[in-house]
Amino acid sequence: MMQQLHKGHLGRDSSPGAQGEHKQDKRMLAATIQDRAFKHISLLAALAVLALVVVIVYQLTTNAWEAISRYRLGFVLSSVWDPVFHDYGALPFVFGTVVSSLLALLIAVPLSLGVAIFLSEIATAKLRRPIIFLVEVLASIPSVIYGLWGIFVLVPLVRQSQPFFQRWFGFLPIFQGPPFGYSLLAAAIILAIMIIPTITSLSRDALAAVPNHQREASYALGASHWETIKNVVLPYNKSGIIAAVMLGLGRALGETMAVTMVIGNMPQISASLFMPAQTMASLIANEFGEAVSPLHVSALMEIGLLLFLVTLLINVLAKFLTTRTKHKGVQK
């Protein structure tokens, strides 16, 4: 439509006579060529985004091919990671990644939902703005600074708290082991702090999408403030909240620096929260620079590929969930 509009334009300074018309035709032709060129340049840039996806998948797959074809499914089932004897299995890292991320969710989800509920249901407008700002600041801190704080503040705190847990709950295997400080627990706590802003802001959006008449109807039925939140507000946009949690999980799974700095980096599967472990991302950060043998590099690339695929899947699912809620909102 827009192109038709400009094709039918009249030159502002068009002079009468054949020469003027000729000039104008030429200018119009030039404009059409420039238009086409600009459109194609912008198209090329848009295609670059898709090329990025292709490059990532292609490079990870081809570089990981040696490890993929050698170990096949056994790669994620074997718990031996031995660069000296060229034997690579990813199980300890899958364990470390999954457990640290799930523990992080366990801490972060209740807190984030609490903050989101506070912001959308309880806080006055005056209080809301500074708290949103603080949560945004929390999101903007570089992960290496979280790691730095983790090493010098959080890890000593975890180390000092361990005797307490052992004294009272020492019969549970999750609290046993020597007090290193660098541990699965430290990683989970730091991940929780890092994903709270993500889950909070997205679930706040989800709660904000709940129409006010729903709340009013609940109050009219005699429900209390909390009963309204629990029975009406939270269930109304469940998929939005689930999407928020999933995006938080996606972030936790791929987080590298902060985790690498506090988890202790030992490829082991241990029941204790206080034992060092290692995640897929922290393994790459630690070993990729020193990997010499092609198989070692290839195994690390395969870990990267797995990480990519898992986070991709989670993000795609979360995206479908949020678009579904959007449609639901339109219908109502």
Under rule CB under 8 A, which residues in 248-307 are in contact with other proteins?
250-251, 253-257, 261, 281, 284-285, 288-289, 300-301, 304, 307
**What is the per-residue DSSP string for 116-147?**
HHIIIII--HHHHHHHHHHHHHHHHS-HHHHH
Tell me how far apart the 2 most distant CA atoms of the chain are, in Å.
100
Burial (Cβ within 10 Å: 0-12, 13-18, ≥19) of residue 111? middle
Contact flag: residue 144 with other proteins (CB under 8 A) = yes
Q: What's the min distance (Å) between Cβ of 141 and other proteins?
A: 7
Residues 216-255 close enough to bind other proteins by CB under 8 A = 222, 224-227, 229-230, 247, 250-251, 253-255
Among 20, 25, 26, 42, interactor with other proteins by CB under 8 A: 42
Residue with tokens 């929390």: 138
Tokens coding 300: 């690390």
User: Taking the CA atoms of the chain, what radius of gyration do you get in angstroms?
Assistant: 27
**Interface with other proteins includes 199 (CB under 8 A)?**
no
Among 15, 22, 26, 34, interactor with other proteins by CB under 8 A: 34
Joined together, the tokens standing for residue 64 give 């990981």
Asked if 135 interacts with other proteins (CB under 8 A), we say yes
| Shortest separation between residue 289's beta carbon and other proteins, angstroms | 6
In the bound state with other proteins, the residue whose beta carbon lies nearer, of 263 and 272, is 263
174 binds other proteins (CB under 8 A): no
CA distances for 276 relative to 14, 22, 56, 118, 162, angstroms: 78, 79, 31, 36, 13
Dihedral sign computed on CA atoms, order 64, 70, 72, 77: negative
Shortest approach of other proteins to residue 329 CB, angstroms? 18
**Candidate list 76, 151, 266, 269; residue touching other proteins; CB under 8 A:** 151
* List 26, 55, 156, 211, residue binding other proteins (CB under 8 A): 55
Q: How far is the CB of 125 from other proteins (least distance, A)?
A: 15
Q: Is 52 in the site for other proteins (CB under 8 A)?
A: yes
Residues 6+ apart with CB under 8 A from 258: 143, 144, 146, 147, 150, 187, 190, 191, 194
Task: State in angstroms the smallest separation of the CB of 120 from other proteins.
Answer: 10
SS3 label, residue 277: strand
Using rule CB under 8 A, residue 158 touches other proteins: no
Stretch touching other proteins by CB under 8 A, among 69-77, 169-177, 232-240, 314-322: 314-322
Pairing relationship of beta strands 81-82 and 87-88 according to DSSP bridges? antiparallel
